[in-house]
Structure 1
């Protein structure tokens, strides 16, 4: 059941033929539906109000925060959004494992997408980068691109990626890169566990 404000928005979008459907962008960035000043009305205009709903969004360690989900029932298209204000001004846009949305980066012909390997991301960045160790709720994250190209998602927000080791990662190498520690992407043990991107986050500072 939608809260009354969002339900009213749905009525407006459906009834108003000037609100065009089918504007769904093929590649995501920090403009349009996810610009700094976007809100739920913006999401409904781009993705269709019937595809936008409110939900409690997992944020790690068993906690959730109120937010908005696009395409909640379709894992390949799902996008989660947390807000700075009451369903306005995006804080974090989350593209979780299984979601196939690509994200554009300034100056790169190829977008970032889930499933990309560590080596591919390092090549896109143009240099090594830092990520946290695996095996805990905040493990495998990189949000420091050390001045590389991934510092510049289209639209000016921040890009963070989360990596998981391969299922067949060697146990001895995995033991070396687990825990609340930072590693360079060039670390030999990190390379051995063959990490791939399993989550993309676009974030706007307050």
Structure 2
């Protein structure tokens, strides 16, 4: 009898552990945007939970912003435009945050398709910007004039052969319905929600120069 009770207890513990690993986070990332500015961040989350005016490495760029709950499962990077919060980003294998639209780190691509309610386009894998969403193709995650989503999927091979991975790699765009991408079913590793804004004329010139300098010359 003692052995049976012990086995049942272990089974219950294992079940609880398993559920905690797959359960979606509950913290609402959209609430960060409602803070409006740095003062609002401190007011809502506390001065000890916010590092203001610090350098944050994001891809190829080093940007100025704020770090929310640094070194914890609730860490998030907050960026500003003209003193107002413009976007908030999370990255890694997991996070305590989830967007109001249902996105969270570790969510598989096929589940993201369901949230978007249609297929979408991503960049090829195997390079610096691999696995990034290029267009939501008019799906729900495209948002509107008040909010939109940026996202990137795990940029490495999984579940498929090298040959199949190469078919969906490189500086090109792919429909996520591609068989190799569907077989990979990569998970989200970076999510950003942002308030779109129309850049000024001078900002537009700067953006154009940056894009031009990053383009590969045609030979």
TM-score, length-scaled by structure 1: 0.74
SS of 1:64's partner is strand
Shift of 1:133: 1.1
Q: Are 1:92 and 2:101 counterparts?
A: no
Partner residue of 1:60? 59
Structure with higher Rg: it is 2
Distance 2:86 2:127 in 1: 23
CA distance in structure 2 between the partners assigned to 1:174 and 1:91 by the alignment: 35
- Distance verdict in 2 for CA 1:166–1:101, change over 3 Å: farther
Q: CA deviation at 1:151?
A: 2.0
The answer on whether the counterparts of 1:173 and 1:192 sit within 8 Å (CA) in structure 2 is: no
CA RMSD of aligned residues (A): 2.1
- The one-character-per-residue Cα deviations of 1:20-53 (angstroms, maximum 9, x if unpaired) are xxxxx83122xx5314x81111111221111000
Q: Is the 8 A contact 2:74 2:96 kept in 1?
A: yes
2:182 is equivalent to residue 191 of structure 1: yes
Query: Contact 2:153/2:186 (CA < 8 Å) preserved in 1?
Result: yes
Aligned residues: 169
Note the C-alpha offset of 1:92: 2.7
- 1:201 matched to which residue of 2? 192
Higher helix share: 2
Paired residue secondary structure (1:179): coil
Secondary structure of 1:50 counterpart: helix
- Alignment of 1:80 with 2:91, yes or no, is no
Q: Contact 1:134/1:178 (CA < 8 Å) preserved in 2?
A: yes
Does residue 38 in structure 1 map to residue 29 in structure 2?
no
Q: Distance in 2 between matches of 1:83 and 1:115?
A: 26
Query: Which of residues 53, 70, 88 is equivalent to 2:68?
Result: 70
Out of 161, 169, 182, which is 2:173 matched to? Answer: 182
Q: List alignment gaps of at least 5 residues for structure 1.
A: 1-24, 106-110
Which SS does the other structure have where 2:98 is aligned?
A: coil
If the length of structure 2 is used for normalisation, what is the TM-score? 0.70
Distance 2:38 2:160 in 1: 41
